[in-house]
Amino acid sequence: MAQARAARLKGRVAVVCGGARGIGRASALALAREGNAVAIADLREDQAAAVASELQDAGARAVAVAMDVTDPAAVRVGMAHASDALGAVEVLVNCAGWDEFKPFLATEEPFWRRVIAINYEGCLRTTQAVLGGMAERGWGRIVNLSSDAARVGSAQEAVYAGAKAAVIAFTKTIAREFARDGITANVVCPGSTDTDMLEEMVRGAPDSERLVGALERAVPMRRLGRPPEVAEAVAFLASEEAGYITGQTLSVSGGLTMA
């Protein structure tokens, strides 16, 4: 394992949006272990700073970046901060996300707008902010986090599933447009994963204990995913070795989706 990791130490500069916790934090740690410098971009500045400090203590180059992906100005400033601190952004991982369990008829347009702004429009903003520079340099990796909800649907997550499906279509199109520029764009679709976000969603739902049991039973492996399991897929797709893989959608979901 040590030799396999050593072969992938390339020292790229990565930005992980939503990197303060959950799958984002695990992805930041995985990328740093591969020898990359990592900017942890998140609304939660204190938690992002804690992750950056953890990486620095382990010998990695890292910085915390305050970023609200729904705010175009905040994305521009945050990406500039990351570049100034670490160098030109070569890897972008979009993990920022938010949702609540709600039957579709119980949702209203302000909820729709928030879900779409965070889960889809944020991905558009951060990608546009770094894509031009990647193309000029002739190298880049974009890894967008969608969800198996986008592939099979998910009860009480209609708007979220739709936004995450848009992420898949967007990523495939970027992969086609920039295939000759040394840039790959791929999607990782987690299934139900044991994260802070899922815990908050479950806590706000009625009959939460039954809901968790139902989520586990839907997975052939009969358990929730773990953030590091998803992060390993992210780190691979961000690596040099994944240079001939683009426009792909990979489920990390214990068999919930099989393709």
For the chain, what is the mean pLDDT? 93
On the question of pLDDT at 202 being above 70, the answer is: yes
101 lies in some domain: yes
45 lies in some domain: yes
Q: How many domains in the chain?
A: 1
158 lies in some domain: yes
In this prediction, residue 206 carries a pLDDT of: 73
- Calpha distance 195→138 (Å, rounded): 35
Return the CATH number at 82: 3.40.50.720
Domain of 111 in residue numbering reads as 2-249
- What single DSSP character describes residue 250? E
On the question of pLDDT at 6 being above 90, the answer is: no
On the question of pLDDT at 32 being above 90, the answer is: yes
pLDDT band, very low/low/confident/very high, at 232 (cuts 50, 70, 90): very high
- Calpha distance 70→68 (Å, rounded): 5
- Calpha distance 127→139 (Å, rounded): 14
- Calpha distance 182→14 (Å, rounded): 16
Strands (E), 111-241: 140-145, 183-190
Residue 42 burial (C-beta neighbours within 10 Å; 0-12, 13-18, 19+) = buried
Q: What whole-number percentage of the chain has pLDDT above 70?
A: 95
Spot the catalytic one: 98, 101, 120, 160.
Answer: 160
- Calpha distance 96→153 (Å, rounded): 20
Predicted confidence (pLDDT) per residue in 46-70, tens digit = 999 999 999 999 999 999 999 999 9
Predicted confidence (pLDDT) per residue in 114-147, tens digit = 999 999 999 999 999 999 999 999 999 999 999 9
Two structure tokens written together for 152: 């099979």
In this prediction, residue 216 carries a pLDDT of: 87
183 lies in some domain: yes
207 lies in some domain: yes
Is residue 63 within 8 Å of residue 86, measured between CB atoms?
A: yes
On the question of pLDDT at 43 being above 90, the answer is: yes
156 lies in some domain: yes
Phi and psi at residue 98, to the nearest 5°: -160, 145
* Active-site residue, 120 included: no
21 lies in some domain: yes
In this prediction, residue 208 carries a pLDDT of: 64
